[in-house]
Amino acid sequence: MQNFTSSLLIKIIFIFSFFPNLSSSQTLSTQKLEEAVSEIEKGSFGEIHSLLIWKDNKVVFEKYFNDWPSDSIHQLQSATKSITATLLGIAIQQGFIKDVHQPVLSFFSDKKIEEPDSLRNQITIEDLLTQRPGLAWIERQWEDPNNTWRKVLESEGDWYEMILNTPMREEPGTRFNYGNAAPLLVTGIIQQASGMEIDQFAKKHLFDPLGIEKFEYWSGNGKPANNGGALLYLRSKDLIKIGQLHLQDGIWNGSRLLPEGWVQKATSGIVKGNIDNRFYKFSYGYFWWSEGIPLSEDFFYIPKSIYMARGAGGQHLIVHPKEKMIVVITAWNLQQSSLPLTIYTNYILPDEYKKKLQPKLFAPDILTEQVEASVTLSPNEQELFFARKDSFFAMGRKNTIYYSRKLKYGSWSKPHVAPFSGQYSDTNPFITPDGKRLFFTSNRPTQLGVEKKDRDIWYVEKTDSGWSQPIHLEMPINSNESEYSPTLDEEGNLYFGSYRKGGHGSGDLWVSYFKNGQYQAPENLSNAVNAPDGEWGSCIDPKGQFIIWESSGREEGITPSGDLYISFKKEGKWQPAQHLSLLNSGGSDLTPKIHGDYLYFASNRHKDFMIQINNNNVDLYRISLEEVFALIERE
C-alpha cells in the first residue's frame, strides 16, 4: 500500500497582507477571504456578526460585522449543547460521575415518576448525549399543540421532572430524535452529581481554567439551574478556546480537563446520516455534529475529521484537527441557519478537501447504451472480461460475460461472448492474480434438467487452447442461498458475497481461506464491513490488506442505490468501513475490481460526474489507487 499512498498533502503557503489581523498561515487564501468579507457585507449569508479563524496556535483572522461589538457575548443557541457535553466529560474527569453508561434515573431519585416504565429505567447518559433517549418527544413544529418542548417552556416549576415523565416511544439507543430534552437532563445530572448549579460548575471547572471571564446563562424559569442551562452566551474569541480544548484532546495548560479519549468519542459520528436540514445530512456524537454529506451538488462535502457545534441562527464552532484550525461564525439568520456554514466550505476550507475525484471512462471502445459492469483484466492487462445486461433497473435480466483483447494502439477489440457464457445468466467475472483461473457467478444448473433458483460460484481454468468447461465449487463455498462476487488474493483465499444464514444483513461478505489445498469453512468479515442492508460487488486487494465493495442503504451513503466503501485489515482484524465520499457520485457506483495500480468500477454517473440517479446507462471507470488513498488520508 505504501507504493500507492501519497506521503503528504500538497499545501500552498499564502502570505497574508490584506487584513491587518491576518498573519502568515498555510492553506488559507487571502483572495478568498476578501471575497468572503465582501459577500458577508452584501448580506449574502444573512446577518453575520463575527468570523474568526484560529490556526497553528494563533488567531489569524478576526472581523465583526453589522456593528456587533467584538467584546460582546453572543447567544450560542444549540451550540450550547456541545458545551454541555464538555461539562459532562469534565464531571466524569472530576469523579462526580462514573461513566456515560450509568442509568439516568439513578440521578433523579427525588423526582416523582407518574407512570413507571421499564424502558425509562434503561435510559443511560450516553442515550441522552446521542439524542436517543426513546422519549415520545415532539419539538420540530412549534405550532403543534403536542409540542412537548413548548409545553415545558411555557410552564414553571420542575422541568426535569416534566421531561422524565414524558411517555416512552421506543427502546433507548435505537432512534435519533433531536431536541432539548436530552441536554437539559444532562445538565440536571451534572448538578445532582456535583451538588453545584450549572453556571457555578461551568465557571469553576471550565471557564476559569480557560480564562473565560464573560459568560451568561439564560435565566428562564428562575435561573440556569432550573432550566437546564439551555442557552449560553459567550464571546466569539472565547468560543475559540472551547475549540482549542478539544483540539488539544481535553488538555489545557498541561492539566487534563476531559477524560482521555473523551474528545475522540464525543466528536465521532456515533449516529450516522441525520438529515438536519435541506443542505446536509450529518453524523452525531455527544452533542457534536460531524461528517457533513451534501444533499446537493451545490454544496461541498465536509471531511470526516471535522466536527462542529451548531446552533440556530447560524452559530458555528468548527474544528478541523488535520489543519489545526478552528473557525467561529456567529450570526442571526433564523430562516437559513445553515447558510453561514457555506462561508467556511466555500472560502475557508482548503481546496484540497473539496476536490471530487475524477475517474476516467475505461475502454470506451466496448461501452454501449446497455449496462457494462464487473470488469476484470488478465495479469498482463492484454485481455479483459466484463458482464453486460440490457437494463440496470430490470431486476432478474440475463447477464452475459464478454471478452475483449487490447489492440496495437491501446484500444480494445469488439467484445464477443466468452466461450463459457451465453446460455445462462453469468456475471461477476474475476481473473485470479496468476491468471490461471477465472471465477464467476451463474444460475446454471448443477443437476441436469433441474432449474437453478439461486446463483453459485463457478470457475474456468486457462488451457493452451483457451478456457476449460465451467467447474462448480462445492460446499463449503456454495450454499442453498445465492453466492456472488468472487475475488481471490495472491494466497488463493476466496472472498465472496452470500445470502447464507449467520450474516449481519441481507447479503454479507465472507472469506474462505485456502489451506492444504482445500477451501475452509467461510468466515464472515464481521460487522466492521457488513451492515444490515447488504454488501454486494467487492474485490480484495491481491495482498489481502484491504477490501473495496459496494453497499446500499448505509446511513452515511449518498444514495440508497450503491456507494463504494473500503476497509483495511490491521493486526488480523477488519477496521470500520470508510465511505469513499469524494469518489461516489450520487448515482450508483458498483462492482469494484483492483488490478495493478488502479481501481476499476461501474457507475451510472453523468459523463461530467454530476449526480444522475435515474441514469440507466452504466459504464466502466478507472482511477488510480494513489488518488483513492490520498482521499482517505485527507479525510
The pLDDT value recorded for residue 560 is 57
User: Mean per-residue pLDDT for 42-67?
Assistant: 95
Sorting pLDDT into bands at 50, 70 and 90, what band is 256?
very high
Sorting pLDDT into bands at 50, 70 and 90, what band is 17?
very low
The pLDDT value recorded for residue 424 is 94
The pLDDT value recorded for residue 582 is 78
Answer whether residue 492 shows pLDDT above 80.
Answer: yes
C-alpha cell, 498: 452470500
Greater confidence, 438 or 10?
A: 438
pLDDT in tens, 361-400: 999 999 988 899 999 999 999 999 999 987 655 455 689 9
pLDDT in tens, 85-98: 999 999 999 999 99
Angle at 563 between CA 557 and CA 568, to 5 degrees: 95
Query: Exposed (0-12), middle (13-18) or buried (19+): which is 628, by Cβ within 10 Å?
Result: buried
Query: Exposed (0-12), middle (13-18) or buried (19+): which is 382, by Cβ within 10 Å?
Result: exposed
pLDDT in tens, 287-330: 999 887 765 566 677 887 899 999 999 999 999 999 999 999 99
Sorting pLDDT into bands at 50, 70 and 90, what band is 2?
very low
Residues 6+ apart with CB under 8 A from 473: 456, 457, 458, 459, 519
| Residue 225: φ, ψ to 5° | -60, -25
User: Mean per-residue pLDDT for 215-228?
Assistant: 92
Answer whether residue 142 shows pLDDT above 80.
Answer: no
Answer whether residue 22 shows pLDDT above 50.
Answer: no
Sorting pLDDT into bands at 50, 70 and 90, what band is 613?
very low
Contacts 24+ apart (CB under 8 A), 409-414: 411/365, 412/363, 412/365, 412/366, 412/384, 413/365, 414/365, 414/366
The pLDDT value recorded for residue 339 is 84
Sorting pLDDT into bands at 50, 70 and 90, what band is 565?
very high
Mean pLDDT across the chain: 88
Beta strands in 534-633 (DSSP E): 535-540, 546-551, 563-570, 573-574, 578-579, 589-595, 598-603, 619-624
Euclidean distance between CA atoms 22 and 215, whole angstroms: 27
Which residue shows C-alpha cell 466550505? 345
Sorting pLDDT into bands at 50, 70 and 90, what band is 351?
confident
pLDDT in tens, 498-532: 999 988 888 999 999 999 999 999 999 999 999 88
Answer whether residue 14 shows pLDDT above 50.
Answer: no
Query: What's the predicted TM-score (pTM) here?
Result: 0.74
pLDDT in tens, 423-442: 999 999 999 999 999 999 99
C-alpha cell, 506: 441481507
The pLDDT value recorded for residue 103 is 97
User: Mean per-residue pLDDT for 12-36?
Assistant: 56
pLDDT in tens, 149-159: 999 998 888 99
The pLDDT value recorded for residue 10 is 26
Answer whether residue 539 shows pLDDT above 50.
Answer: yes
Sorting pLDDT into bands at 50, 70 and 90, what band is 274?
low
Angle at 329 between CA 325 and CA 334, to 5 degrees: 150
- Which residues are bridge partners to 565 per DSSP? 549, 579
Closest by Cα among 490, 473, 609, 629 to 548? 629
- Give the 3-state DSSP-derived string for 215-266, with helices as H, strands as E and coil as C: EEECCHHHCHHHHCCCCEEECHHHHHHHHHHHHCCCEECCEECCCCCHHHHH
How many CB atoms sit inside 10 A of residue 99's CB? 10
How many CB atoms sit inside 10 A of residue 566's CB? 22
C-alpha cell, 156: 414553571
User: Mean per-residue pLDDT for 612-633?
Assistant: 78
Of all residues in the chain, the percent with pLDDT exceeding 70 is 89
Answer whether residue 5 shows pLDDT above 50.
Answer: no
The pLDDT value recorded for residue 548 is 97
Answer whether residue 331 shows pLDDT above 60.
Answer: yes
